[in-house]
A = this chain, B = another copy of it.
Amino acid sequence: MANDKKFVEQITPMDEDFAQWYTDIVKKADLIDYSSVKGCMIIRPYGYAIWENIQKLLDKRFKETGHENVYMPMFIPESLLQREKDHVEGFAPECAWVTVGGSEPLSERLCVRPTSETLFCEHYANIIRSWRDLPKLYNQWCSVVRWEKTTRPFLRSREFLWQEGHTMHATAKEAIEETERMLNIYADFYEKDLGIPVVRGKKTDKEKFAGAVATYTVEALMHDGKALQGGTSHYFGDGFARAFGIQYLDKDNQLKYCHQTSWGVSTRMIGGIIMTHGDDSGLVLPPAVAPIQVVIIPVQQHKEGVIAAAEALKDRLKDVCRVKVDASENTPGWKFSEYEMKGVPLRIEIGPRDIENGQCVVVRRDNREKTFVRPEDLATEIPRLLDELTRALYEKALANREARTWEAHTLDELTEIASTKSGYIKAMWCGDRACEEKLKETADVSSRCIPFGVKPIGDTCVCCGKPATKLVYWGKAY
C-alpha cells in the first residue's frame, strides 16, 4: 500500500475523546481532506460515494412523490435577499459576498446562496398564473455557503452539499401536507436505510427557520448523547408569496396567494452516520449507502486457486450487492483493519481450508459475528445479512437513545441531569421564549423539538411552573 498506515493504533478511543475520535475517523477512513480554503472540506472519493448513494436513494423518493429537479443561480443579489424581512435577518450575518466580477466592482453585491427561497420565489412569481400551475414541486441538489466561525467536517462547514425542496401550493392545507410528507420521507430514510432512529417534531419559534411559520425536524441522538438535527421541513404560509407577489387565479376567478414549503438535508447526514454507528475500529456504514457492501479477502492468497475462488464468490454476488475483492499484497490482518476502518458492512474470508470445506466465512462489521456460508447460498445469504445488519444498527442506536432519555420535572432536576448525563431531557414547557432562554443559560440545553405523539409528563413548565401543555425534548446538539 501507498503508506503504511496502522489504522488501529492511530485512532483515539471514542470514550476517551469523542471529538478527536470523530476527527480521526473522517481522516483515516479517507472521507475528507483539508485544503487551504478555511472552513471548507474536500470530500474524497470514499466520502463522496456515500453522498452519491444518499442522493440516489432520496432522489428516487422525491421523484416518486412528484418532485422535479431544477438548477437556480448560486448568487443572490442583495436586494432580492432583502425582500423577505425575517429571512434576511436570519441569513445576512453568515453570507459570503461577491463584490468584484472580472476586474470591476459590482454595482450590487451578490450573496453566495446560503439557501434559495428568494430565487425560487422570484422564479415562481414568473411562472405561476393559474390554479392549473399548482402545485409546483421543485428540488435542487447543490452546494450552499454559510460563513460559520467554528467548523467541523460534515457537521458544520462554510460550504456544504445539500438538497433543497421548494414547493408552492394552492392552499395552506396542501402545503402543510407536503411539509409532513417530506418530513416522513426523511424519517423513513433515516430509519430504514441508515438505521438511525429519529424523533419527529416541531421546532420552537426560537429554533425555527428564518421566515418560516413552522419548522418540522427529524432529530437523531448520537452515540455520545448529543443531538443532531437530521433534516428540516418548513411551512411558510403565504409570507414569501406576499413579499414576492406569487399569486394564482383560482377556479372561482379570484387572485390568491400561494402557500409554500421548503425542506432539506445535507452532507451532515454523513456526520450523523459516523457518530451513530461508528466504533473504536472505525466507521460502520449502513449497507444502503456503503460504497462497498461486501469485501472479499483471500487468505493465503499465494496458494493456488485462492484468488480464483475469491473472484468466483464475487461473480456470485456482483448482481446483488456492491462487492469488491482485495487481492493486493497486504496481509489479511492489515486488510481486516482497513475495511473495518472504512465501515464495510460484511467481510468474506476465503482460504485453502474454506475451499476444501466448500464454504466461506462471512463476518459482520457491527458485532464481528461469523457465519459459515456455502458459496451457492451467498446470493441469498448476503442480502439477508445486510438487512439484518441494518436492523441491528437501528436497534442498537434506539437502545442508546432510550438509555439516554431522561425526564425532568423541576429546573433543579433538569440542571442536574444536564450537568451529569448526556442525552434527551423530556420536560414540560409553557411556550414562553424566556423560559427557553433560561434553560439555555442555566443548563446549557436547547429545545430540540416538540415531538409528535409523545405524552405529556406533567402540566407545569419545568422552568417557571406556570401551566404547560407542550412536552419538549431538550439537549445539547451538534
Chain A: residues with CB nearer than 8 A to chain B?
1-3, 33, 35-37, 40-45, 48-49, 51-52, 68-77, 79-80, 93-103, 109-110, 112, 119, 122-123, 126-127, 129-130, 132-133, 138, 142-143, 145, 147, 149, 158-159, 161
Contacts and interface: CB of A to CB of B under 8 A. Distances in A.
A103 B1 CA distance: 46
Contacts of A42: 70-73, 119, 123
A349 to B, nearest CB: 24
A138 B45 contact: yes
Contacts of A158: 101
A3 B133 CA distance: 9
Copies in the complex: 2
A292 to B, nearest CB: 13
Q: Which residue, of A71, A96, A110, A130, has the highest number of chain B Cβ atoms within 10 A? A: A71
A36 B98 contact: no
A74 B40 CA distance: 9
A34 to B, nearest CB: 8
Contacts of A1: 132
B143 A74 contact: yes
A70 B43 contact: yes
B69 A45 contact: yes
Nearest to A51: B71
A49 B74 contact: no
Contacts of A73: 35, 37, 40-42, 159
A58 to B, nearest CB: 14
Contact of A36 (B45, B49, B77, B138): B77
A33 B75 contact: no
Contacts of A129: 2-3
Given A45-B68, A52-B69, A2 B35 contact: no
Contacts of A101: 95-97, 147, 158
Contact of A143 (B33, B94, B142, B145): B142
Given A42-B123, A129-B2, A142-B143, A68 B94 contact: no
A45 B74 contact: no
Given A70-B45, A123-B33, A130 B100 contact: no
10 contacts: A2-B133, A35-B123, A36-B77, A45-B138, A75-B96, A95-B102, A96-B101, A99-B99, A102-B147, A142-B143
